[in-house]
Amino acid sequence: MDGAGRSYCGEDKSSVIRKALSEGLREMRVRQAVEQYRTADVSVKRAARIAGVSLGEWLGIARERNLTTRLTPGDPERAAETALDL
């Protein structure tokens, strides 16, 4: 076979490349958000936006990466209000 018909995990080459680029870009956004959050340059909400994830997903990412949560008492309330506005 000349390679044209080969697949990776059941997907064609272009699909694999698109998926890899997408995953790589997501990881780059998450890394940028982690760095800015770690240095206190951005809030929890802004970090989630930079990463391109929901606030709940961001909190999971922060927990996985052992980041200290800097939520203020009003943050969850504001997040709930924002969610209701969506």
pTM, entire model = 0.63
Question: Would you state the pLDDT for residue 84?
Answer: 74
pLDDT band for position 2 (cuts 50, 70, 90): very low
Q: Which residue has the tokens 């997907």?
A: 11
Residue 33 lies in a domain: yes
Residue 1 lies in a domain: no
Residue 6 lies in a domain: no
Question: Would you state the pLDDT for residue 1?
Answer: 38
Q: How far is CA 76 from the centre of its chain?
A: 19
Q: Which domain holds residue 28?
A: 13-85
DSSP string computed for 35-68:
HHHHTTSS-HHHHHHHHTS-HHHHHHHHHHTTPP
Residue 2 lies in a domain: no
Q: Which residue has the tokens 């390679």?
A: 3
Residue 30 lies in a domain: yes
Residue 7 lies in a domain: no
Q: How far apart are CA 82 and CA 68, in angstroms?
A: 23
Residue 28 lies in a domain: yes
